[in-house]
Chains A and B, each alone.
Chain A
């Protein structure tokens, strides 16, 4: 069971929009809508930003949105801000009743 595939890094300027992809298989993202996205700052625990593909927990900015097409999920951050800089991880439930994470994407706001 390999990790979900994410780009190692993405970058954008303040105010711009960026999209992070997360590619799995028909055994995880392709079958379930249980895809989550986490934001992690250095030395801190991950924070849930998106769950069940499109849902935002209370308190998460509406600049964060999620979507899915086939075996790939996407996280879009609009109106990029300096404090969006960090690492982003996707996760998915699988047909083996396990959870799998992506390798992580480092977002740089330049």
Chain B
């Protein structure tokens, strides 16, 4: 059974870069599927950040939501079976619970427990 676990600093200063990692166990990060990041500000709804997808022939593509696209980087470390999120130039509006998840086209069938990131000086 696949398990995902987010990790990273719980506190980031304004204007700095938020960096999170999602460790995957029970599945291969290079399998023909997608690995995504979703966030949820306190008391609010879900927002799709982006995803990294693998397809046959080891082809890899990254997709990002329009509102965060210019600040988001999603990468993969196949040797550690994990993928990462970097969000640059953060503000208080980026304070949220950040989830990693597995699935294509929004069919996220497995989720991490989430990690709270607070942006504050």
Contacts and interface: CB of A to CB of B under 8 A. Distances in A.
Interface in B63-80: 63-67
A1 B63 CA distance: 15
Interface residues of B, number: 24
Nearest to A46: B111
A51 interface: yes
A46 B40 CA distance: 11
Interface string A1-34: 1010000000000000000000000000000101
Contacts of B66: 1, 96, 98
Interface in A81-102: 89, 91-93, 96-102
Contacts of B46: 38, 46, 89, 91, 101, 104
Given A1-B66, A45-B99, A45-B114, A98 B109 contact: no
Interface residues of A, number: 27
A89 B107 contact: no
Interface in A40-70: 45-48, 51-52, 57
B100 to A, nearest CB: 10
Interface of B: 36, 38, 45-48, 50-51, 63-67, 99, 103, 105-109, 111-114
Interface of A: 1, 3, 32, 34-36, 38, 45-48, 51-52, 57, 89, 91-93, 96-104
